[in-house]
Structure 1
Amino acid sequence: MNGTTLHKTAADCAQELPGAQLEHPFGDDWKVFTVRGKVFMLMTEVPGRPVVILKADPGEAHALREQYSNITPGYHMNKKHWITLEGGNGVDKELVEELVTDSYPLVVARLPRAERPLDPHTHGSRMRAAG
């Protein structure tokens, strides 16, 4: 998957999530997807390479970095809780969509219950079963 397709796939997936909003708090070079004001995905270019930055469970983030050369610690983010994804070999539509939909409930779970657009504990399992 090339970088342009990576950004389009990630953005299309993020925009389908309940309550997701696209913002540009850091300028036009950064696309920031939030839910109730909390960031779950960022997209930009790091020296000309399109990247997607996502929240991830620390154990899963480590395993993903071990398995994929195109997944590195989160760019300008907490390296334990965020990953950076670049396009390339081994990165396909299913992986991008899975990582985006995994990032979202991690952020939703930290919202006050009344602000949650869905139950983060059932959201992921339903998404995987449907996919």
Structure 2
Amino acid sequence: MDRHQVHQYFMSKPEATVSQPFGEGVDVYKVKNKMFATLALGKKMGDVESQLWRINLKCDPDEAHALRDIFSSVLPGYHMNKRLWNTVLLDGSIPSTEVARMIDNSYLLVVKKMPKKAQASLLLHL
């Protein structure tokens, strides 16, 4: 997936919104004011200078580590809680279906922390 496809996929989620609360260049995607993803052009990550687009996605801690072991383009969450968030570099090395699955999981993890009434209204549209 490229950044345009990722943006479209984020916005296809029920009640998804996008804003730039951290400043220009970092799109933050929320559902009912709760962040489920970010999209930004890469900057220096560790010792590597990267001009790749990257997304931050919420993840189950055990799955987060497994994904980092499987895919070299999945890293601990950049500027996020590294236990609960992964950064995914959009370098084309991860199949689109897997990126979509990771996005779906991030969205669902956020929705499942909401009150039951809010969950029900969102899950009806999935």
- Shorter-chain TM-score range: 0.7 to 0.9
Higher share of residues assigned helix: 1
Q: Deviations over 1:93-124 (max 9, x none)?
A: 2121111111001000111122233249xx5x
Judge conservation of contact 1:9–1:93 (CA < 8 Å) in 2.
no
Per-residue CA distance 1:35-71 (angstroms, 9 max, x = gap): 0000000011222321100001111111000000000
TM-score (norm 1): 0.82
Write the mapping of 1:29-108 to structure 2, written as runs, cut at 5 A.
29-47=25-43, 48-88=51-91, 90-108=93-111
C-alpha RMSD over aligned residues: 1.7
TM-score (norm 2): 0.85
Give 3-state SS (helix, strand or coil) of 1:101's partner.
Answer: helix
Distance in 2, matches of 1:89 and 1:17, equals 22
Task: Please say if residues 9 and 96 of structure 1, whose CA atoms lie closer than 8 Å, have aligned partners that are also in contact.
Answer: no
Gap regions ≥5 residues in structure 1:
124-131
Structure 2, unaligned stretches of length 5 or more?
Answer: 44-50
> Relative to structure 2, which stretch is displaced further, 19-28 or 77-86?
19-28
1:17 aligns with 2:17: no
